[in-house]
Amino acid sequence: MDEKSNKTAPKSDLEKTDLKQVLTKLKVDPKTGLPLVIQHNCKQLCSCYFGWLVPRISLWMICEVWIYNIAWMFVLNIIRILIEKAQAKK
């Protein structure tokens, strides 16, 4: 039996790297990075809901957009994983 077929697929660079190292490289403090992302998303939600600098849309429409984006995120990640597995077999 070939030894290459028994090996697992190599991890991508992002999977090998620790999150703290990535945030440090991007000069983002791990303690404040996530709260800043949440704060930014809340500002964008309020901007769309109250019509600040953009046309006002309903909260239901905002939720639909978020659900749509999250669903496609999972679909695209599954496709990415399948492609990586197919390339690892070569």
pLDDT at 64 over 90: yes
Cβ–Cβ < 8 Å for 29, 23: yes
Q: State residue 9's pLDDT score.
A: 52
Q: State residue 30's pLDDT score.
A: 61
pLDDT in tens, 4-62: 444 555 566 556 667 677 667 766 666 666 677 778 888 888 899 999 898 999 999 99
Of the candidates 5, 19, 15, the residue with the CA atom closest to the CA atom of residue 88: 5
Q: State residue 1's pLDDT score.
A: 45
